[in-house]
Every structure is written in structure tokens, then in C-alpha cells.
């Protein structure tokens, strides 16, 4: 059975994007990228990543780039 990654992400988004930004489950962009860098230490830091997205005319909303990062991680790394 194939995993529907968009569906999984949308559920995850509910958890990491609560209305109260002081909630412990809230992930800012820099916090999220910090976790990604624990998996891939060569991943760009927050400023580098946002600058790269801007240069490529990609959206810089957290939901958009969190999704892009997760779907581009190698599956063995993401699990």
C-alpha cells in the first residue's frame, strides 16, 4: 500500500502549527530546519534556505517549504 504523503503532511501540519505559537508543538521555520539539519548536517541553515527559495521564485510560507523539504528527504532518512 502506497503512503499518501500529502495526507500525512496535512495531519502533521495540524500538530506543528497550532493557533498558539507558544505551544510546545509549534515549529518555527528555523526550529524545523534545525531538526532537518540533525538528519542532514549539510542542509542549508534557515537564512540560506529562504534565500535559495527566493532566488528560485519559490514560495516562502512555512507550510510550502516544510512540505518541500519533507517530500525531498530520502525515504530511508525520513522514516
SS3 64: helix
pLDDT of 52 strictly over 60: yes
pTM of the shown model:
0.86
User: Are the C-beta atoms of residues 30 and 46 closer than 8 Å to each other?
Assistant: yes
Other beta carbons within 10 Å of 33: 22
Which three cell numbers, joined as nine digits, stand for 17? Answer: 502549527
* Mean predicted confidence (pLDDT) in 15-32: 96
Distance CA(57)–CA(75), nearest Å, equals 26
| Structure-derived torsion over alpha carbons of residues 32, 15, 58, 36, reported in degrees to the nearest 10 | 20
* Mean predicted confidence (pLDDT) in 10-37: 96
Find cell 526550529 and name the residue: 31
Amino acid at each position: 500500500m502506497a503512503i499518501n504523503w500529502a495526507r500525512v503532511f496535512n495531519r502533521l501540519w495540524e500538530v506543528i502549527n497550532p493557533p498558539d505559537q507558544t505551544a510546545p508543538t509549534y515549529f518555527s521555520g528555523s526550529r524545523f530546519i534545525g531538526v532537518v539539519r540533525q538528519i542532514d548536517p549539510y542542509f542549508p541553515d534557515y537564512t540560506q534556505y529562504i534565500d535559495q527559495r527566493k532566488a528560485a521564485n519559490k514560495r516562502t510560507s512555512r507550510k510550502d517549504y516544510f512540505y518541500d523539504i519533507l517530500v525531498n528527504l530520502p525515504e530511508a532518512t525520513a522514516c
